[in-house]
Chains A and B, each alone.
Chain A
């Protein structure tokens, strides 16, 4: 997996609460059996007009000034709904490395860490203020320093953020989860030998 240390990038705003994974990537694109190639259809229904090609002028991140953005500023409960990992695949394939919101849905949040995508939780007032600044300043960038858990603005102002230590380590090191777990394989075997529910095996 990709590791994540620091990232500097252009910020794009998506001001809508409860953005669901059906919206991040609609179902017709879940039929593929690969992990890549979902970036072009990210936010498909919002992003394109009915022809499925022409960028919709109403979708704010489509604006010329936000092209090339790699940090997405979002609202409460981002990523709710379906567990589809296609959502973080599409966000990261599009070029996003960091998502900032007041809250994320659980499964989605978890899925991000398995794909080198950093979801940062900040309080609502701070997020709201960032929305204001992003819109007020063309070319608005942020630097996200995961090691030191801080976001640095262009003027040098710092916003600290919290993250669970283990999740942070996972991203910093780009660890292969399965490999890590299998380092404890003898514990799994021991569990299976002594404690696994008898009825979970069909005799």
Chain B
């Protein structure tokens, strides 16, 4: 029978499927970061347990670390303690850790793929909801809680029940100026933040096939914002090419052997999904969120909604509260909204292509005067490559700040945060109240849209941008 990639991976990782209970699923890769792991390691210690397969486990520090001078110790005592605790736990339990000073350090969901640790057909977990990112490689990847982190550390398995499957098919070709970020925001706008609950999404269709790996990661990354357990894209030539020569690929097989293995994971033609959603890529505009949930989104040529026109009482109330929090008048054009801060980075849009796109918009332009612009690469590898391509100069000349890698203002756990009332165009994934700092107002956009807003001082349609050559 024709199987979906989800069914193939699920079946291949079944350790034990007891009647009426959750199944025991084997985990091939476990990523760990400083925020959601200390209590898990402590639990192991208290129970006298060890990490079952430390060689399948990799840790990085990303959430708490400063994006300014790394030579200085972290000023915040609690952040420092958390980072040091991770380091100590990794040493004690024999887990490899890319600490703040390691050249491989960066955001966990940027680091895994770029090192070649994320591979097709794997099951991957991390105590972090954006683990869905790794699904871009055709790996079944999802976020787990700290108790489950402990469970995976101790047993290399996870208790799971089979999910339903949802195909999100993006037909056609995306127009110039429209990016993966706009596709996924449009999908979330369509199905809502709980639209994927209980499902694993597989993204298919011509537009998805044409996307690069980095763009696919952007899409899978935000599957969680659609409520899905995971997002997946079947592996293909684009996947295999991306993986070519990655430093931590398995060394016991030739490339051809690996590709043969990887190929088998793709969904079979004619497989069936529990639910199908279709979008036409040609109709997708650059997206901007206006509210405090990623589903509160519209095209850049659109307007802030008018609550009185919303019938559903819950949605109406949510809209009223969101507009109040966001300080927006109903009905105004999205392009009229000014920004104070622009944040380019995160595990959604902190990779090379994102920085290249943003740099292309900035080239030959200056940021608008009062706007603060933070450009934060997703990893040290990304930072180095961007500098080799001279992108840092373009950013600096445009008046942006070029920072050290980390999660930074995506969740504002370190010092990078909005002040109350500040309005930010962000390339990250969550516009929740206070996400980027208490009282801060977040609008989610693509890197190109963020750069264009930085130069213009308000949102503009990047499809009309006048690019300047160097």
Cβ B154 vs Cβ A182 within 8 A: yes
A28 lies within 8 A of chain B by Cβ: yes
The interface residues of chain A, by DSSP majority, are classed as: loop
Please give, as numbers and ranges, the residues of chain B lying within 8 Å of A106 by CB-CB distance.
Answer: 197-198, 227, 229
Pick the contact of B26 from A16, A34, A188 — CB < 8 Å?
A188
A81 to B225, CA, bound (A): 7
Contact-residue bracket for chain B? 35 or more
Q: A33-B85, A103-B194, A197-B122 are in contact. Are A177 and B151 (CB under 8 A)?
A: yes
Residues of B within 8 A of A15 (CB): 317
| Interface residue? A18 (CB, 8 A) | yes
- Is B293 an interface position by the 8 A CB rule? yes
Known: A103-B194, A191-B26, A203-B251. A84 touches B36 (CB 8 A): yes
Q: Write the chain A residue with the least CB distance to B195.
A: A77
Q: Tell me which residues from 41 to 65 in chain B have a Cβ below 8 Å from any Cβ of chain A.
A: 42, 47, 49, 52-53, 55-56, 63-64
Contact A105 B194 (CB under 8 A): yes
Interface of B is mostly: loop
Binds A, one of B75-83, B105-113, B274-282: B75-83
Contact (Cβ within 8 A) A198 B252: yes
A132 at interface (Cβ–Cβ under 8 A)?
no
* B81 partner residues in chain A, CB cutoff 8 A: 31, 33
Q: Answer yes or no: B368 CB below 8 A from chain A CBs.
A: no
Size range of the chain A interface in the assembly: 35 or more
Q: Is A20 interfacial (CB 8 A cutoff)?
A: yes
A83 partner residues in chain B, CB cutoff 8 A: 36, 127-129, 143-145
- What are the residues of chain B within 8 A of A110 when measuring CB–CB? 144-145, 148
Interface members, chain B 405-434 (any A CB < 8 Å): 411-413, 420, 430, 432-434
Return B148 CB to nearest CB of chain A, in Å.
7
> Which A residues lie within 8 Å of B128 (CB)?
82-83
Complex interface: chain A residues within 8 A of B78 (CB): 31-32
Knowing A22-B435, A31-B64, A33-B81 touch, does A81 contact B261 (C-beta < 8 A)? no
Q: How far is the CA of A185 from the CA of B16 in the complex (A)?
A: 10
For the complex formed, measure the closest distance between the CB of A90 and the CB atoms of chain B, giving whole angstroms. 13
Chain B residues with CB under 8 A of A166: 20-22
Contact, CB under 8 Å: A22 / B430: yes
In the bound complex, how far is the Cα of B433 from the Cα of A45, in angstroms?
9
Does B56 lie within 8 Å of A201, measured CB to CB? Answer: yes
**The stretch of B155-163, B167-175, B334-342 that contacts the partner chain:** B155-163
- Are A107 and B253 interface neighbours, CB within 8 A? no
The reply to whether B147 and A177 form a contact with Cβ atoms under 8 Å apart is yes
Cα distance A185–B161 in the bound complex, in angstroms? 19
Query: B435 near A200 (CB under 8 angstroms)?
Result: no
Contact A27 B411 (CB under 8 A): yes
- Beyond A32-B78, A198-B250, A201-B250, whether A181 also contacts B157 by CB under 8 A is yes
Given contacts A31-B79, A184-B15, contact A177 B261 (CB under 8 A): no
Indicate whether B29 reaches chain A with its CB closer than 8 angstroms: yes
Whether B38 is near chain A, meaning CB under 8 Å from some CB there, is: yes
Contacts of A184 in B (CB 8 A): 15-16, 24
C-alpha spacing A202/B121, complex, angstroms: 16
A80: Cβ under 8 A from any B Cβ: yes
Let me know if A33 and B156 touch, CB within 8 A.
Answer: no
Whole-angstrom distance between the alpha carbons of A164 and B353 in the complex?
44
Q: Which of B12, B28, B82 contacts A33 (CB 8 A)?
A: B82
Q: Tell whether, in the assembled complex, residue A45 and residue B434 are in contact, meaning their CB atoms are under 8 Å apart.
A: yes
Determine whether the beta carbon of B15 is less than 8 Å from that of A202: no
Q: Pick the contact of B55 from A17, A188, A202 — CB < 8 Å? A: A202
Contact A114:B193 (CB < 8 A) given known A81-B432, A200-B29: no
Nearest opposing residue in chain B for A52, CB measure: B438
Interface string of A5-31 (1 = CB under 8 A from B): 000000000011110101100111011
29 of the cross-chain contacts (CB-CB < 8 Å) are A17-B315, A20-B430, A22-B433, A27-B413, A31-B35, A33-B82, A33-B85, A35-B146, A80-B227, A83-B128, A83-B129, A84-B36, A103-B197, A105-B197, A107-B144, A110-B144, A110-B148, A114-B145, A178-B154, A184-B16, A187-B24, A188-B155, A191-B15, A192-B156, A196-B28, A197-B121, A197-B122, A197-B261, A199-B261
Q: Which 3 A-B pairs rank lowest in CB-CB distance, beginning with the nearest?
A: A203-B252, A114-B147, A33-B38
